[in-house]
Structure 1
């Protein structure tokens, strides 16, 4: 594991300029030996545009949204388990990880580092005309939104909200800042910083730069992320206003029932708010989601299997059940991220999540939300409910967002135990809410090299 200084890596001008041409993760990967600051190589709006694409690349890596972040949040729940076919994810699924296990910590702070480079730029000095000025501010807005999203992802996994502590994560806002050994803020301080970054992002981004491909963040991506953050921390009024901003934008809609399954093999759908791009030539291959979710005919890993009883939670006629299927007798996720080699885009934020967030916030705030919840149910081929409950909302979220990495977060934010419901699950008994294992350990190398870094309890 790389040490905390990895957050503040330095790029050479040559690397920067080459990045702008190709924008691959490898080209952006900096090292401490390089001795030319990235800021010295930025002289145009085109430069920061290239860097922004590079920041997105870090999110696509297998350690992050490309696989591990999603899978780890599924195998630690009542959705999936690791069958050990290739030995992958049994440690995570057993809650047996330690400070040397590794996770997405490095990729996350690498993305944050690039976002901070972009945020630090004087756009007025880089822009040559009004159009470039607006574009530059829009790119900086994306950087603020990405910084907020990534810190939020880190907070959910490493923060102590669900283990009885108060610590969050190190919220890094400067590239190569004076504090090379940051300490952890409280999780409440993290939430304040995240929400502030999202508001700044929304204010800076322009409707004129709406990305119809959905592979970069647009103005309402910031509000969608805000909706997600607010739901997690029970900020119901914020969740309502953020959700309404996305809904009222008119830019997004639910994918139809008829196209629900096929939509997962086609990018830039009407329900996508932000997604990560992969292609047949730029994919994760054996490290992809498809490779770990199913066996297929190409010798893929197929370690992550669906618990047998999961098929029973779907009502008759629910098109979401069609995502499931069998390989022999093994229940599988067959059609979310269907390409076995990972050339499908990975949606990070979908419109359906916003509808669910809105319904929950309305329920918690006023007792409402029934029509919003039913709008999703009827779209998926089901009859509407006559009454709404918290359990009904969480159950609907499970069915809609299954295999996308939401289940662990939903159990945590609602204070639920990780129940042992099946012999197939890798852990031996129910894990009570508050157990130290519900917060991931800070990587040991960061503990060893940063005297200000405090480890989570139990590790």
Structure 2
């Protein structure tokens, strides 16, 4: 099926009622609206209206991180379900251990519906409305029009790509939601060919029309090339993935920052950043406070003689923590700088009392399974190594809630994409993977295979929301092996054994998230749920 026919097919597809219900209630249609109301149809007929509409997409992108649902689950859920973490407690813990979010009718699936399914469909709907309006408007500056289209198409592609990777059975459309068609029924999922035809087309347009540089926080040609390389990997198009990644690395203005300590320093406005979600009121996206960082940091400040401080990660909530598998990967090279006080905090130090500056030694982990420590529970809660990537220098150390910039995509991943794509096609992957290792002070590798890539992505990108998708992309056997062998901390954290052990709870069909029944009920009677549910 060619692209033109695919687009015609997309136009014929109905639109999900949930999108409309998410934005406006049925009661709104029964209420008389004042004639002076300025709606989206009016706004999108002007150049300034279209530009404002694009800015709103940045706000919607951040909404998932700001949503307070279950300790800000939307910001950390994908990291909780991986082979690199154990989810200690809270509802996110239930989700990360595959105790919730594993049935279309459980509460976890309802949370996922709101935070991901509805969220991204709402974004695709708004992006599509902007795209269709911009394509029809007359008298607008051509460069402005192409900029609007490029940013809106990026966000539509980004949203559909996220939905596909999570739910698999999704539908895509290029039709704007209107009052007339909002209640049309979607009868079937889109084919993989249809999904990627639209995603690829949108990203290719964005690559062509976006500049390499723009105001901090806006998507650029580099952002679009990075995501296009990722989508190519999902299609097994290794030459396209290689070309996009290498082009971004060699032709763009981006470069790896000198040290791992620089990656998450300051406001993340540096040469490695490809997409940063901002939190300040006067910038794109605005945003509210989030507990993203707190979820990843232990409650070390509950120990007498140590107060919460930004250098050690801020005020933590101890929900999702790095497991032994990840910590052992980081420890393989003693010179690797990613393991302490850059990406992770391994040790804690007294800040008051008689032992200022000394290492905290109150609790002990289990190191001998035959002779477990008596206070391992407190160790996991208060002294366990933590991810500190999302602590920001101007955060309030006395609050779980902070307004911080979120680094979503960065060039280090582009290097690892290039290495994998070259490994699977033609060329020498070593310069690309070793650029990342050399920056971290680790010795270069001399050979590259799939496990080499998987391990290096773990060291460099852990807790950045990419791991689950990497495991799924590499296939059923890979995700089955990694989760059943490494998820959680097993016997070293007995609190998560039995029915709380993610290794035991994992089922192969969890490779796709369930479509919540509340969403499935709004689709056609034959719309397919993912296999296994």
- Measured against the shorter chain, the TM-score band is 0.7 to 0.9
- The answer as to 2:295 corresponding to 1:292 is yes
Q: For the structure 1 residues 200 and 431, does the alpha-carbon distance in structure 2 shift closer, same or farther, using more than 3 Å as the test?
A: farther
1:5-16 to 2 correspondences below 5 Å: 5-8=17-20
Q: Is the 8 A contact 1:87 1:303 kept in 2?
A: no
Q: For the structure 1 residues 272 and 65, does the alpha-carbon distance in structure 2 shift closer, same or farther, using more than 3 Å as the test?
A: farther
Whole-angstrom distance in 2 between the partners of 1:265 and 1:31: 41
- The answer as to 2:484 corresponding to 1:419 is yes
Q: Deviations over 1:74-130 (max 9, x none)?
A: 22222112211x4433234325312242211111111111101110114573545xx
1:171-186 to 2 correspondences below 5 Å: 171-176=172-177, 178=181, 180-182=184-186, 183-186=188-191
1:43-122 to 2 correspondences below 5 Å: 43-62=45-64, 68=73, 71-84=76-89, 86-97=90-101, 98-100=103-105, 101=108, 102-103=111-112, 104-122=116-134
Report which stretch shifted further, 275-284 or 434-443: 275-284
Larger CA Rg, structure 1 vs 2: 2
1:69 is displaced (CA, Å) by 5.1
Q: For structure 1, which runs of at least 5 residues remain unmatched after alignment?
A: 11-28, 160-167
Q: Is the 8 A contact 2:203 2:228 kept in 1?
A: yes
Aligned partner of residue 86 in structure 2, secondary structure: strand
1:188 is displaced (CA, Å) by 3.7
Q: Is the 8 A contact 2:278 2:406 kept in 1?
A: yes
Q: Is the 8 A contact 1:280 1:343 kept in 2?
A: no
- The answer as to 2:532 corresponding to 1:440 is no
Whole-angstrom distance in 2 between the partners of 1:206 and 1:404: 25
Q: Is the 8 A contact 2:97 2:502 kept in 1?
A: no
In structure 2, the partner of 1:319 is 337
CA RMSD of aligned residues (A): 2.8
Q: For the structure 1 residues 241 and 31, does the alpha-carbon distance in structure 2 shift closer, same or farther, using more than 3 Å as the test?
A: farther
Whole-angstrom distance in 1 between the partners of 2:508 and 2:229: 27
Whole-angstrom distance in 2 between the partners of 1:95 and 1:239: 36
Q: Is the 8 A contact 1:119 1:140 kept in 2?
A: yes
Aligned partner of residue 395 in structure 1, secondary structure: helix
Q: Is the 8 A contact 1:70 1:404 kept in 2?
A: no
Q: Is the 8 A contact 2:293 2:391 kept in 1?
A: yes
Q: Is the 8 A contact 1:442 1:456 kept in 2?
A: yes
In structure 2, the partner of 1:386 is 446
Q: For the structure 1 residues 392 and 431, does the alpha-carbon distance in structure 2 shift closer, same or farther, using more than 3 Å as the test?
A: farther
Q: For the structure 1 residues 336 and 83, does the alpha-carbon distance in structure 2 shift closer, same or farther, using more than 3 Å as the test?
A: same
1:312 is displaced (CA, Å) by 1.8
Whole-angstrom distance in 1 between the partners of 2:97 and 2:234: 23
Whole-angstrom distance in 2 between the partners of 1:352 and 1:345: 18
Q: Deviations over 1:190-249 (max 9, x none)?
A: 122211221122233345xx3141x12112321111011112332101101211231233
In structure 2, the partner of 1:24 is none
Which residue of 241, 244, 253 corresponds with 1:242? 244
Aligned partner of residue 262 in structure 2, secondary structure: coil
In structure 2, the partner of 1:201 is 206
1:101-250 to 2 correspondences below 5 Å: 101=108, 102-103=111-112, 104-122=116-134, 125=137, 127-128=139-140, 132-159=141-168, 168-176=169-177, 178=181, 180-182=184-186, 183-206=188-211, 210-213=213-216, 215-250=217-252
Whole-angstrom distance in 1 between the partners of 2:58 and 2:170: 21
Report which stretch shifted further, 295-304 or 349-358: 295-304
1:273-284 to 2 correspondences below 5 Å: 273-279=274-280, 283-284=287-288
Whole-angstrom distance in 2 between the partners of 1:192 and 1:124: 22
Aligned partner of residue 275 in structure 1, secondary structure: strand
Aligned partner of residue 378 in structure 1, secondary structure: helix
Aligned partner of residue 77 in structure 1, secondary structure: coil
Whole-angstrom distance in 2 between the partners of 1:65 and 1:195: 30
Q: For the structure 1 residues 197 and 250, does the alpha-carbon distance in structure 2 shift closer, same or farther, using more than 3 Å as the test?
A: closer
1:267 is displaced (CA, Å) by 2.5
1:268 is displaced (CA, Å) by 1.7
Q: Is the 8 A contact 1:273 1:350 kept in 2?
A: yes
Which residue of 417, 421, 437 corresponds with 1:361? 421
- The answer as to 2:469 corresponding to 1:409 is yes
Matched length:
421
Aligned partner of residue 260 in structure 1, secondary structure: helix
Q: Deviations over 1:16-63 (max 9, x none)?
A: xxxxxxxxxxxxx55552667522333322111111121121221236
Aligned partner of residue 61 in structure 1, secondary structure: helix
Q: For the structure 1 residues 64 and 89, does the alpha-carbon distance in structure 2 shift closer, same or farther, using more than 3 Å as the test?
A: farther
